[in-house]
Amino acid sequence: MACALPRTGPDASLIDVHGRRISYLRISVTDRCDLRCRYCMAEQMTFLPRAALLSLEEIALIADRFIARGVSKIRLSGGEPLVRRDVVDLARRIGRHLGDGLDELTMTTNATRLADHADDLAAAGIRRINISLDSLDPERFRFITRHGDLARVLGGIAAAKAAGLAVKINMVALKGLNDAEIPDMLAWCGEQGFDLSLIETMPLGAIDEDRADRFVPLTAVFDDLSRRFTLSRDAHRTGGPARYWRVGEFGTRLGLISPLTDNFCDGCNRMRLTTEGHLYMCLGHEDRVDLKAALREGGIGALDAAIDAALGHKPLRHDFRIDSASPAVARHMSVTGG
């Protein structure tokens, strides 16, 4: 396969039709997951056949092109990325660009397998990791994930901390399920030295429950937390959609990701690559381009042309509505990546 030569000229940079510079690529390395979180997946899921997936070499080549064209941050995600064999090798391959076009390589994981891989991920160049954790109560955690083992996840978190990885906890706020636990989660994260990001549930893919029944507006959550903790606005940004506050009692940060109550699309700098090679320009739209077909049929030149086409079709914003009878898009979050 042709090597990824640098591209030059006025069209090299990733500027979308609205004038936004794309500097952040999220890559889903698999749609499979070893948990079945109720807000994310149906209990019975049909996953892509392995033959439909990009090879890790193809993912690395696509990452090369995005870095050559100005992407400075890449996040590996899933599904659960650590269920894919040799994903650490992919991290090493992409990590070679750190300091040479790439500023940061990160991963989002549920931490069920993190204890086995934390040291290798750190050696590959990952310095920060996001961990999905929606409860610190073992039974509640098992209910939300359908069969998850909290002790195993906490062991993975401890391994990440021991490996020197900065940890950020991602918690989806769920009414009547874990919303009363949010202050305790913030305090636990502070005691551990972890940042916490709270996330509104998003209408992605059909699930077995009504998301509207579980939706918690983060405006109300923030008001409650403000009465319990000393929160001051923090200018910290990670390249993602979270808006941050400093937690005075601990010196850690609270992030809010609120796609429904506070649309954050104006400054969007992201695209998402699925494990089957589709490049989505927006989490909330179905428009996509097929980078796998472009790469396999036309090599690097066709890949660049497909990326250019994607830039011309990136929408201005999503149109999420939690009260709609059907999800905003048919695909589940595990397909597009977190």
Average pLDDT over residues 123-139: 98
268 a known binding residue?
A: yes
261 is written with which tokens? 């109550």
Question: Is 324's pLDDT higher than 90?
Answer: no
112 a known binding residue?
A: no
189 a known binding residue?
A: no
Helix (H, G, I), strand (E, B), or coil: what is residue 246? strand
185 a known binding residue?
A: no
CB 200, CB 218: distance < 8 Å: yes
For residues 201 and 322, which has the higher predicted lDDT (pLDDT)? Answer: 201
Confidence class of residue 203 from pLDDT cuts 50, 70 and 90? low
Element holding 31 (H helix, E strand): none
272 a known binding residue?
A: yes
For residues 211 and 164, which has the higher predicted lDDT (pLDDT)? Answer: 164
Question: Is 333's pLDDT higher than 60?
Answer: no
75 a known binding residue?
A: yes
219 a known binding residue?
A: no
Task: Give dist(CA 76, CA 26) in Å, integer.
Answer: 6
β pairing state of 278-280 and 270-273: antiparallel
- What is the architecture of the domain spanning 24-336? Alpha-Beta Barrel (3.20)
pLDDT score for 323: 52
pLDDT score for 10: 37
For residues 174 and 204, which has the higher predicted lDDT (pLDDT)? Answer: 174
Confidence class of residue 320 from pLDDT cuts 50, 70 and 90? very low
Average pLDDT over residues 133-143: 98
Task: Give dist(CA 208, CA 214) in Å, integer.
Answer: 12
For residues 317 and 83, which has the higher predicted lDDT (pLDDT)? Answer: 83
282 a known binding residue?
A: yes
pLDDT for 241-278, tens place per residue?
Answer: 778 999 999 999 999 987 655 555 566 788 999 999 99
When the pLDDT of each residue in the chain is averaged and rounded to a whole number, the result is: 87
Contacts of 306 (CB under 8 A, 6+ apart): 279, 289, 290, 291, 294
Q: What type of residue is 202?
A: M
Q: What type of residue is 211?
A: R
175 a known binding residue?
A: no
Q: Where are the domains of the chain?
A: 24-336
Average pLDDT over residues 68-72: 96
Q: Which of 3-17, 84-98, 133-147 has the lowest mean pLDDT?
A: 3-17
92 a known binding residue?
A: no
Question: Is 7's pLDDT higher than 60?
Answer: no
Percent of the chain with pLDDT over 90: 67
326 a known binding residue?
A: no
Task: Give dist(CA 226, CA 250) in Å, integer.
Answer: 14
265 a known binding residue?
A: yes
33 a known binding residue?
A: yes
Confidence class of residue 201 from pLDDT cuts 50, 70 and 90? confident
